[in-house]
Amino acid sequence: MASQQNPLDEEENSKRNWSLKDFEIGKPLGRGKFGRVYVAREIKNKYVVALKVIFKEQIEKYKIHHQLRREMEIQSNLHHPNILRLYGWFHDADRVFLILEYAHNGELYKELRKKGYLSEKQAATYILSLTKALAYCHEKTVIHRDIKPENLLLDHQGRLKIADFGWSVQSSSKRRTMCGTLDYLAPEMVENKAHDYAVDNWTLGILCYEFLYGVPPFEAESQIDTFRRIRNVDLSFPSTPSISSDAKNLISRLLVKDSSRRLSLEKIIEHPWIIKNANPMGICL
């Protein structure tokens, strides 16, 4: 099925001075620490989008001006089928509005919680889509640093979209900021060492495990225990559900403490488990 031409992608629209009067606001899609997301329709072209509303009071309170500006700059310049588009933004006295691509099927997190775990075919398709999107990001010197099920959305065909670039950074040098979500942090971040693109490769291993087993591999009762398990790469595979040795091999080759020895994104795409299970079109419902 040919994808619908998006009028918001056109050059004239990307340079428009948007305002709230350009949109009909629909139901809320979700809420976060800094604001809310609504489904909305652009009045002129009838095109459905997601409108992320961030309150300026929260931006001030949490000092996220720089982070928000960086997120907007990075995401608006990324054009990939597995990355949620940011079409533009505008603001009024109290709020900043981001005009985002609408992902009809919502968070992958919700699907994972509903099902408990995913089939190997579904998991491999999502990992392949993520790997391709991250390869594209890394080519553009963007490290995501916060890939997790809550930041992954599904469109009407079940195609995966990376949605949140709040912790992303554009840099070809090593970074030292500890950021992201605890269960998904690489050992070098836990140990406050310099890190690079390989933190995203580590997260692919964490996600692959979580897709197949329903929980992240280093989950523990306390934060200190989780840190310890990550530092020691305390990895084990439960006997249920029954998972193929190829899947375990891929996970084990990504969850490696020495970041230079983690499986590269190119090698993930060529891995037997991916070749055997993933839908190369990325469609998975």
Residue 146 falls in the annotated catalytic set: yes
Domain annotation covers residue 2: no
pLDDT (tens digit per residue) in 191-230: 888 788 888 999 999 999 999 999 999 999 988 999 999 9
Residue 1: what pLDDT? 37
Tell whether 145 and 71 lie within a shared domain.
Answer: no
Domain boundary at 101, 133, 149, which? 101
Tell whether 232 and 161 lie within a shared domain.
Answer: yes
Instruction: Please count the structural domains in the chain.
Output: 2
Tell whether 116 and 232 lie within a shared domain.
Answer: yes
285 — pLDDT class (breaks 50, 70, 90)? low
For residue 178, pLDDT beyond 50: no
Q: Residue 116: which residues within 8 A CB-CB, separation 6 or more?
A: 214
Give the predicted TM-score (pTM) of the model: 0.90
Residue 88: what pLDDT? 94
Domain boundary at 77, 101, 125, which? 101
Residue 62: what pLDDT? 85
Whole-angstrom CA distances from 122 to 9, 41, 207, 246 are: 30, 31, 12, 15
Percentage of residues in the chain having pLDDT higher than 90:
68
Domain housing 51: 10-101
Residue 192: what pLDDT? 86
Domain annotation covers residue 1: no
Domain annotation covers residue 141: yes
Residue 45: what pLDDT? 93
- CATH code for the domain of 66: 3.30.200.20
Tell whether 198 and 164 lie within a shared domain.
Answer: yes
67 — pLDDT class (breaks 50, 70, 90)? confident
pLDDT (tens digit per residue) in 27-57: 999 887 788 999 999 999 999 999 999 999 9
Domain annotation covers residue 113: yes
Domain annotation covers residue 284: no
Tell whether 198 and 232 lie within a shared domain.
Answer: yes
pLDDT (tens digit per residue) in 143-169: 887 888 888 999 999 999 998 876 565
For residue 18, pLDDT beyond 90: yes
Residue 15: what pLDDT? 56
Tell whether 159 and 92 lie within a shared domain.
Answer: no
Domain annotation covers residue 258: yes
13 — pLDDT class (breaks 50, 70, 90)? low
Tell whether 53 and 131 lie within a shared domain.
Answer: no
Tell whether 160 and 186 lie within a shared domain.
Answer: yes
Judged by DSSP in three states, 272 sits in helix
What is the full DSSP assignment across 184-222? G--HHHHTT--B-THHHHHHHHHHHHHHHHSS-TT--SS
Tell whether 112 and 97 lie within a shared domain.
Answer: no
Domain boundary at 101, 119, 138, which? 101
Angle (CA) 19-20-24 rounded to 5° is 135
Tell the residue number behind the tokens 């948007």, with chain if given.
18
Tell whether 154 and 36 lie within a shared domain.
Answer: no
| Catalytic option among 9, 92, 94, 146 | 146
Tell whether 69 and 94 lie within a shared domain.
Answer: yes
Tell the residue number behind the tokens 């029954």, with chain if given.
242
pLDDT mean across residues, the chain: 89
Q: Looking at residue 154, what DSSP letter applies?
A: E
Alpha-carbon distance of 244 to 67, in angstroms, equals 40
- CATH code for the domain of 155: 1.10.510.10
Alpha-carbon distance of 63 to 40, in angstroms, equals 28
Residue 4: what pLDDT? 53
Alpha-carbon distance of 128 to 122, in angstroms, equals 10
Domain annotation covers residue 262: yes
The stretch 100-106 carries a mean pLDDT of 95
